[in-house]
Amino acid sequence: MLTRRKKHNKDYYRLSVFITFVVVCLVGLLSIIFSHSTQKNIQDIQPPTSQDLEDCLSVQYELPQIIDNYTQQIIEHLGYTVSYNHDWNLPNWVAYELTNDELYGDIKRTNNFAPDPLVYGDPVVTYDYTHSGYDRGHMAPAADMKWSEQAMRESFYMTNICPQNQNLNRGDWNDLEELARDWARKFGNLYIACGPIVHNEDATIGNNHRIVIPSAFYKVFLRKDNSSWTSIGFIFANESGNKPLMTYMVSIDEVESTTGIDFFYNLPDSIENEIEKDFNLRDWTVQ
């Protein structure tokens, strides 16, 4: 019995050694194959280019950056982002991207001006503009929000509204809004930022809230054609007037020096500095 047990143990030992050897060989072989495959894959992978990163990341080129010491609350809505100034009860800026596809929505204008539910404190209401002599002037136009019921509704939040001269709101400012839609159709998409210019904080309206009357308004545009960028700005006095839109055109640098706001800062500095110092009217013709 003892001899047979020893033989059995010896056979078991040999089988264990054999199985271990086979396993080691398989692991080694698989390691070689995997290592070769990994090295090949690594060699095949190329580092991402700046264009790859731009295509993969959603860069919000339209968002400005406050330079001057303005108070602000950043509020994001579906169709636009607003930097809200609680001292003025106005936006510092409203920014959004407008695409060709968004122009073909069928959502109807609501005209339901409402307090912004996201604003801190006691929000401005539509009644504050009653009998003021000023229009409730949209910064991001309702007509640019026809692609979504929510976007249309939020365009009537009072954080997107400024006291605007009636003639300006319904005339030259409206003409620029229509031209922007023509640009979006032609070029595919635009990055837009606009807002009030305040020179006198003592001029106000408001039944329950003190709302500063802007002295002027600005609007800036950015677009890309293939690999090149171009921009243009506009400044409108908050008064009656009926002039060709080209008379309001200025460089982005001029808008920045007037407002204390840095536009299109998400662009590389070399591109931003070049396109903001001047503009070419021919880049913005619609035919």
Beta strands in the chain (DSSP E): 65-66, 73-76, 81-85, 90-99, 135-138, 161-164, 189-197, 204-205, 211-212, 216-225, 228-237, 249-250, 261-262
Contact yes or no for 207/130 (Cβ under 8 A): yes
Phi, psi of 232 (to 5 degrees): -160, 150
From the list 261, 167, 184, 181, the residue with the least C-alpha distance to 218 is: 261
Q: Can 138 be counted among the known catalytic residues?
A: yes
Q: Centre a 10 Å sphere on the Cβ of residue 144 and count the other Cβ atoms it contains.
A: 26
User: Which two tokens mark 272?
Assistant: 């931003």
From 8, 77, 138, 209, the catalytic residue: 138
Q: Active-site positions? A: 138
